[in-house]
Chains A and B, each alone.
Chain A
Amino acid sequence: MLNAGKAVKVSIYLSDGATRHGVPVYSSILDFLFYRGVAGATVFKGVAGFGADHHMHSANMVEISDRLPIKIEFIETREKVDALLGKLEEMAGSGLIEMQETTVAKPAQVSKPKMPVLPAHLKIEGKAQMMRIFLSEEDRWKDKPLHEALVAALRANDIAGVTVYRGILGYGAHRRIHKDKPLLSSHHGSIMLSVIDTAEKLRAFLPLVDQMLEEGLVVFSDVDIIKYAYRALDVEPDAAQAGQGSASQ
Chain B
Amino acid sequence: MKEEFAARMLRVHFGEDDKWQGKPLHEAILAKCRELGIAEAIVFRGIEGYGSASRIRHTSIWGLSKDAPIQMSIIDTEEQIARLIPLLDAMVEEGLVASSSVEVVRYSRNPANDANQP
Contacts and interface: CB of A to CB of B under 8 A. Distances in A.
A218 interface: yes
A171 B41 contact: yes
**Category for how many chain B residues contact A:** 20 to 34
Contacts of A210: 2, 107
A209 to B, nearest CB: 8
B108 A173 contact: yes
B77 to A, nearest CB: 12
Nearest to B101: A221
B40 A134 contact: yes
B45 A168 contact: yes
A174 interface: yes
B30 A221 contact: no
A134 B107 contact: no
A132 B75 CA distance: 11
B30 A173 contact: no
Contacts of B42: 134, 167, 169-172, 190, 192
A249 interface: yes
Given A216-B107, A217-B107, A219-B102, 16 more contacts: A132-B73, A170-B30, A171-B30, A171-B34, A173-B114, A177-B34, A192-B42, A216-B106, A217-B106, A219-B9, A219-B75, A219-B104, A219-B105, A220-B102, A220-B103, A221-B101
24 contacts: A165-B44, A167-B42, A167-B43, A168-B44, A169-B26, A169-B27, A170-B42, A171-B40, A171-B41, A172-B42, A173-B39, A173-B108, A174-B108, A175-B113, A192-B44, A209-B105, A217-B40, A217-B75, A219-B7, A219-B9, A219-B102, A219-B103, A219-B104, A220-B102
